[in-house]
Structure 1
């Protein structure tokens, strides 16, 4: 079993990009009345404390979400910020407040800090949105044993009723195929493996090829690191060749650092038409605010 734990990277610049995109896509899909199935193939622990030893060891939230929220709190930056950034920040603050409220029911002496403490992973973000509607469902997969235990614990606090939420400690690539096509006939899939196992690059392509064969109209959000490795560099081109409309957003916050990624991307298959203009407005701001060495940059391409 590989050593990857997402708590090391919770709230990183890569998380900011991935989750801001995910929230926009999920919100758009919920504008239609028809029920929606959301699937997270690599769900992690569900949610994270930025005060945990793991998160402090990585420290990536300080350059990521915490830095962004501090910037939003200065002057009239919140008012001027693009809607995609404001919406993301509002969800984070609401989630943090809800967790604190739940904790203070057991210990009223607890007091929230000045900074964000609890960060929602993709499962927690999706659960909050899906809870707004009575027929939407969430399916979660996590292969890492320790992460799966934490995820199961998180589901006990999820706002979704048990009959609308299910998690499985297993392979999300294989689990996804078993769910398609969904009875709802609408699906949002998040696929963000750690890529610690280099076979993940090929497995992403094989899984998506099979998924699109079964359900060509699903919306698929694929996160990936931007690295010098050949398989990492080739992944976006391979995704483009799957033959569906696509959008590819990439953001770099610097050229190098001792720990953590300086660049990552989100590839969306069958993206909503609102996503491109939202990102063209938000990406320049995100890359500039979180840049580490005056080398922040962004790219956005669409096709298919």
Structure 2
């Protein structure tokens, strides 16, 4: 596996993923009982946007860079921008938080976070970035396989009834990755039925996603919601034109929180032909 997220940190796909992730975290915090989060493809958790890797692509300029300049006022977006600013206050002006950092930032002292990263260099950096945080456990292992090992979650005598499974694979296998991701989600729901599960996916041509979406709608969850942001038309199979998140067992009113945020993201980050989509594949009963 050669993928390095440092080349893409802070791009439009990260913006969408992290806006949704924080909205999910806030929904979990609505109740006082402890919760658990599993990040199956965690990366290093913290990135430098002025590093040679990030500057080589410049993708953050059209993602978090543009959003900081525009500063939309929708609550889900201001929540995300506040988290980015908190990260920079703690780690420097060019820092950008990955999903493990955002989970640690959003969740509470009595919550627990498990982060899986297969690449040794990235796993070592992830472990170093969270060395002082007892809530975060880093596993240098395949994230899909970890679902069977780590779910249902427990910590000592505590068994977690509520929580989140975030699956964010690199899609190096292209469309074949969807089958692996769907199998992992099915396994997660079988082991922890009440969990909220979120799968990030790239969008090149939307029509190519129809088999994936049909299968996703049949997963054993109470609901299935998709949120997509395309920053350009989906007319090329050779580039990522946008991305989406599939959310299973979506928290109450998540769609209402995301609707204005998606529209604002499309306006702030989109080119000609940009579009957004918020749709229930299976609405909650």
Report the aligned-residue RMSD: 1.9
Which of 68, 78, 88 pairs up with 1:96?
A: 88
Determine if contact 1:186/1:217 at 8 Å carries over to the other structure.
Answer: yes
Determine if contact 1:190/1:221 at 8 Å carries over to the other structure.
Answer: yes
Which of 242, 247, 270 pairs up with 1:291?
A: 270
After TM superposition, where is structure 1 displaced by more than 3 Å over at least 4 residues in a row?
228-233, 256-260
Q: Quick one: structure 1 residues 219 and 141, their matched pair in 2 at CA, closer, same or farther if it must change by over 3 Å?
A: same
Structure 2 partner of 1:135:
110
Mapped partners of 1:258, 1:59: distance in 2: 21
Q: Deviations over 1:17-49 (max 9, x none)?
A: 000000011111012111111110000111100
Q: Deviations over 1:130-178 (max 9, x none)?
A: 2xx231001000112322222122222x6x32xx221111100111221
**What is the aligned residue count?**
274
Q: How big is the shift at 1:216?
A: 1.1
Q: How big is the shift at 1:279?
A: 1.4
Unaligned runs of 5+ in 1: 101-111
Mapped partners of 2:109, 2:88: distance in 1: 24
Determine if contact 1:14/1:261 at 8 Å carries over to the other structure.
Answer: no
- Is 1:22 the counterpart of 2:21 in the alignment? yes
Mapped partners of 1:249, 1:12: distance in 2: 17
Which of 224, 233, 240 pairs up with 1:246?
A: 224
Q: How big is the shift at 1:243?
A: 3.3
Q: Deviations over 1:49-108 (max 9, x none)?
A: 000111111211100011000011xxxx5xxx21111111111111111113xxxxxxxx
Determine if contact 2:147/2:187 at 8 Å carries over to the other structure.
Answer: no
Mapped partners of 1:127, 1:155: distance in 2: 9
What SS does the aligned partner of 2:126 have?
helix
Determine if contact 1:219/1:269 at 8 Å carries over to the other structure.
Answer: yes
Matches within 5 A, 1:1-304: 2-72=1-71, 77=72, 81-100=73-92, 112=93, 117-130=94-107, 133-156=108-131, 160-161=133-134, 164-182=135-153, 183-198=159-174, 199-228=176-205, 232-244=209-221, 245-255=223-233, 261-292=240-271, 294-302=272-280, 303-304=282-283
Unaligned runs of 5+ in 2: 154-158
TM-score (norm 2): 0.90
Structure with bigger gyration radius:
1
What SS does the aligned partner of 1:268 have?
strand
Q: Quick one: structure 1 residues 185 and 126, their matched pair in 2 at CA, closer, same or farther if it must change by over 3 Å?
A: same
